[in-house]
């Protein structure tokens, strides 16, 4: 039994997009093309934000010019962050996080591409960066509307991880299994919540991550540990009290949705609670995945092996975890130090003999 994550666009979340003929049509096209539900959700929120800005500024989105896009960028960099006092750090230093601003601009740019294809306008006011004189070898460099910052994911120390596990100890058996599997198999939040009973092979301790539930539509099979296997067996006995039907693996325990598959938002709230009790606000639903891939890099796994487990299409993405582990630098440092040490010993032997 397969789980359908998004059967239709939830237009009530983007009322301004829904009211705009072209904006609604563009988002519907993205949905019909089979984009991941989270991508459609992100595009909808981004375009809603832009149309709201245009409404406040008394602009018609279809006829906006470059100076209006520049004003929107400034608006993004100066507006209050929705997380308020809970913000730990911002990539941009002010306004929204850099990644959020990049997403906003990407959605707006794609929307204007659509307007060009529809013959509504001739140019895209957002553009795709421009060349300006620089000091590189070629004398030019590409600049986008918003500088892009690439930060490495936060990885908990051993002390942090112990605190997280201690905070999880008070959670339900379901949540314990979910945390264990998210680390063991390096699962994304969406992949974890979409698991069904038929996706698990307890005999070989394997999990099938179906293509329709992955970020890049690549199916993969990943293992989980013996310790997690014990937790899983115990959870199955408990799950029968919630439902005896096959289908979603992790079921809601609430009175309102008892026995129904757990939602992504519910799991996010569980993790937020764990982070609060552990007093580690950096801990998110993606942290176990990042930690697992980093640990594998530290253990000497090959880059291609890590990419296969993670379900990465690009090796550049996997390379992040090699950097996080410090493995490449550590190996080079050790080799260099061994070489220098041998040279110094040889010189001592030759000169001071």
Q: Is 133 helix (H, G, I), strand (E, B) or coil?
A: strand
The residues pairing with 141 across neighbouring beta strands, listed in sequence order, are 132
Select the CATH number that applies to the domain covering 158-327 from these four: 3.20.20.70, 1.10.443.10, 3.40.50.20, 2.60.120.10. Answer: 1.10.443.10
Q: Per-residue DSSP letters for 87-130? A: ----SSSSSS-HHHHHHHHHHHHHHHHHHHHTTS-SS-SS-S-E
Enumerate long-range contacts of 201-210, CB under 8 Å, 24 or more apart. Answer: 202/229, 202/232, 202/233, 205/229, 207/181, 209/185, 209/311, 210/2
CATH of domain 11-128: 1.10.150.130
Boundaries of every domain in the chain: 11-128, 158-327
Report pLDDT digits (tens) over 327-349: 655 665 566 666 766 666 676 66
What the block records as the tokens of 69 is 């896009």
Report pLDDT digits (tens) over 177-217: 999 999 999 999 999 999 999 999 999 999 999 998 888 88
User: What torsion, rounded to 10 degrees, do the Cα atoms 67, 68, 69, 71 define?
Assistant: 90
pTM: 0.68
What the block records as the tokens of 167 is 């905070």
Could you tell me which residue, 135 or 32, shows the higher pLDDT? 32
- Computed over every residue of the chain, the mean pLDDT equals 83
């Amino acid at each position: 039994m397969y789980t359908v994550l998004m059967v239709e666009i939830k237009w009530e979340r983007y009322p301004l997009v829904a009211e705009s003929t072209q904006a609604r049509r563009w988002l519907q096209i993205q949905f019909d093309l089979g984009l991941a539900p989270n991508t459609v959700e992100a595009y909808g929120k981004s375009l809603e934000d832009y149309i709201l800005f245009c409404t406040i500024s008394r602009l018609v989105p279809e006829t906006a010019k470059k100076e209006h896009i520049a004003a929107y960028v400034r608006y993004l960099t100066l507006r209050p962050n929705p997380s308020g006092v809970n913000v730990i750090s911002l990539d941009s230093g002010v306004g929204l996080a850099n990644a959020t601003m990049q997403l906003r601009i990407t959605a707006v740019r794609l929307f204007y591409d659509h307007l060009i294809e529809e013959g509504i306008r001739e140019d895209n006011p957002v553009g795709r960066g421009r060349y300006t004189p620089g000091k590189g070898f070629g004398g030019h460099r590409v600049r986008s509307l918003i500088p892009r910052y690439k930060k490495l994911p936060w990885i908990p120390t051993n002390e942090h991880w112990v605190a997280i596990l201690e905070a999880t100890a008070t959670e339900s058996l379901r949540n314990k299994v979910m945390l264990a599997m998210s680390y063991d198999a390096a699962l994304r939040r969406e992949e974890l919540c979409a698991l069904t009973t038929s996706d698990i092979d307890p005999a070989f301790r394997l999990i099938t991550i179906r293509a329709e539930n992955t970020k890049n539509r690549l199916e993969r099979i990943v293992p989980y540990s013996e310790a997690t296997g014990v937790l899983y067996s115990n959870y199955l006995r408990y799950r029968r009290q919630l439902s005896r039907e096959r289908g979603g693996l992790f079921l809601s325990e609430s009175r309102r949705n008892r026995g129904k598959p757990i939602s992504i938002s519910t799991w996010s709230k569980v993790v937020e609670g764990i982070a609060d009790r552990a007093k580690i606000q950096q801990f998110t639903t993606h942290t176990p995945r990042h930690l697992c891939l980093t640990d594998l890099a530290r253990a000497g796994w090959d880059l291609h092996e890590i990419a296969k487990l993670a379900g990465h299409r690009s090796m550049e993405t996997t390379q992040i975890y090699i950097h996080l582990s410090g493995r490449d630098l550590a190996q080079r440092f050790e080799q260099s130090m061994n070489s220098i040490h041998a040279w110094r010993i040889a010189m001592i032997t030759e000169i001071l003999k």
